[in-house]
Structure 1
Amino acid sequence: MDRIDLCKQNYTALFGGEALTGEGTDPEFMAILQKFIFGEIFAVGDLDRPTRELITCTVLSVMQTLPQLKAHAAAALQVGVKPVELREAVYQCAPFIGFPKTLNAIGVINEVFREKGISLPLENQATTTEEDRYEKGHAIQHPLYGDEIAEKMADVPGGMGDDVARFLTAYCFGDIYTRGGLDVKTRELLIYCVLTTQGADAQLLPHALSNLKLGTSRETLVAAVIQCLPYVGFPPALKALNVIKGIDPKVIEASK
């Protein structure tokens, strides 16, 4: 199948309409966009359509390109992403992009849910209490990252680095990673896409390694970054790919 036929097939599956119509005020640019994303990017790697759309919605949430997020949130539901999966993908952006931007993205996907007749609020996915959120967060964090953050924050003036390390464990890992709706392996794959979008130099390598520890192959991680590429552009995508490429094969083998 050539890229034009593949583009049309994927576009219809996602949006229910027809690609490459030649209509609108900028049909030339739309043709470039559609053929590249749906005819070429979608042909790379072993990702299924639901995973591709979860990645795309994550990237668009980080970028705050909300009109496009609305279209792709509907497309995600169209290809089988469950509402709770989409919500969790957006929720977990919060530790990385902050609450205001996350609230903007939640507002968009909730609008899509209402339009699709999906009852709100969705089912609660919390699995921790005030008493055990730190403990359960640590149980996920430590096998993947050890005490890296606590060690790096140890000499922050005023001893407040201890607070930052505690926040990361209890909030990011305890409040977010422990939630239902997505497993930790999927969460880490999507978070690598968050960091790719942000060009987050210091965080890319540890999160690439955590993906490998959880059983995600380098090839799948590469395909996820390439799925980000048409939305974030080449520079941040190339940075994230170089991190994956540069991981010592011995480290990869030890992660299996």
Structure 2
Amino acid sequence: MNREMLEKLTKLFDGADSRLQETDPEWVEITAHFSQCETVSASRLTEKERALCILSALLGCQGMGEFRNMLHAALNEGVDPIAIREVIYQATAYLGIGRTHDFLIAANEIMELHGVKLPLASQGTTDESTRFEAGLAKQVALFGPGMEKVQTDGPALRRNVNRWLADNCFGDYYTRIGLNDQEREMITFCFLLAQGGCENQLRGHAAGNFGVGNDKEKLYSVVEQCMPYIGYPRTLNAMNIIDEVAARMESQK
């Protein structure tokens, strides 16, 4: 590893605690050069977008060790702690409490090491009386008027889950400030592609991304930046779905 690259990585990952540079310097050099140089040079994303995508993918694949490293890097690069917290909060809807609880604790510990005062300012905009209507309105805005029919015409046995999708997934999370619609759909795509086995949902959120202005080229860049952390199989699966949804939407014009 040349001196310039080593200095860059030392500054970027200041605060991260790892002995791998001592025990496995070859692995560190290969992975660091690929993830922090080669793929970064191909990115079409802003630094904030790239950081949020990677943190979301690491949540999705449950990569706690690298999540901690990349969180140090994100904070060192000046990414807003509120935006990072929103990623973890929203991940709860797609990964579950069981898989986000420890990441929230780790994030809080690292934020405090960086001098971030907790708790962070509230970003909620709904309460118990408004979350369903606000969440359903957000679903309709992102995915079309058919979302209203899901509440009235969906299978009886799915009535509870369909309501929870409106009031919890969208009413509790998507209505929060701290991230905009484009960012929220982008990170949701990353949660889904990284955990695997969610191809149907990935199709829906590929369309949702297109709807909020995250076009095919941007989604490809999102997947490319996640790739070092999730591997080639899930990367190629996600790209196939992007192609499929883009072609279908183009044929419907």
If the length of structure 1 is used for normalisation, what is the TM-score? 0.87
Q: Name the residue aligned to 2:192.
A: 195
| Structure 1 residue 183, shift from structure 2 partner | 0.7
Deviation (angstroms), 1:145: 2.4
Question: Which runs of structure 2 are paired with 1:95-244 in the superposition (5 Å)?
Answer: 95-146=93-144, 147=146, 150=150, 154-155=154-155, 159-199=156-196, 200-244=198-242
Structure 2 counterpart of 1:45: 43
Structure 1 residue 248, shift from structure 2 partner: 4.3
Task: Tell me the alpha carbon deviations over residues 108-163 of structure 1, each in whole angstroms, 9 at most, x when there is no partner.
Answer: 100011111211111111100111101111111013224359289833xxx33111
| Deviation of 1:50 (Å) | 2.1
**Aligned equivalent of 1:83, options 63, 81, 84:** 81
**Distance in structure 2 (CA, Å) of the matches to 1:211 and 1:90:** 19
RMSD between superposed Cα atoms in Å: 2.6
TM-score, normalised via structure 2 length: 0.88
Identity rate, percent: 33
The residue type paired with residue 212 of structure 1 is F
Secondary structure (helix, strand or coil) at the match of 2:59 reads: helix
CA distance in 2 between counterparts of 1:229 and 1:79 reads 21
Change (3 A) 1:8 1:49: farther
| Residue 32 (structure 1) shift | 1.0
Residue type matched to 1:197 in 2? A
The change in CA–CA distance for 1:253 and 1:154 in structure 2 (over 3 A counts) is: closer
C-alpha separation between the residues in 2 aligned to 1:128 and 1:5?
51
Change (3 A) 1:109 1:207: same
**Number of positions where the alignment pairs a residue of Structure 1 with one of Structure 2:** 246
- The 1:174–1:26 alpha-carbon spacing in structure 2 relative to 1, beyond 3 Å, is same
In structure 2, what is the Cα distance between the partners aligned to 1:9 and 1:136?
48
State the secondary structure of the residue aligned to 1:119: coil
Task: Tell me how far 1:197 sits from its aligned partner.
Answer: 0.5
Contact 2:89-2:173 within 8 A present in 1 as well: yes
Q: 1: CA distance between counterparts of 2:57 and 2:240?
A: 19
Q: Distance in 1 between matches of 2:49 and 2:105?
A: 22
CA deviations on 1:69-97 (whole Å, 9 max, x unpaired) are 11111111111211100000111001111
Matched letter for residue 90 of structure 2: Q
Tell me if structure 2 keeps the 8 A contact 1:6–1:38. no
For the structure 1 residues 111 and 168, does the alpha-carbon distance in structure 2 shift closer, same or farther, using more than 3 Å as the test?
Answer: same
Give deviations 1:200-251, integer Å, cap 9, x for gaps: 1111111011111101121111110111111111111101001112234572
| Highest RCO, 1 vs 2 (Cα 8 Å, sep ≥ 6) | 2
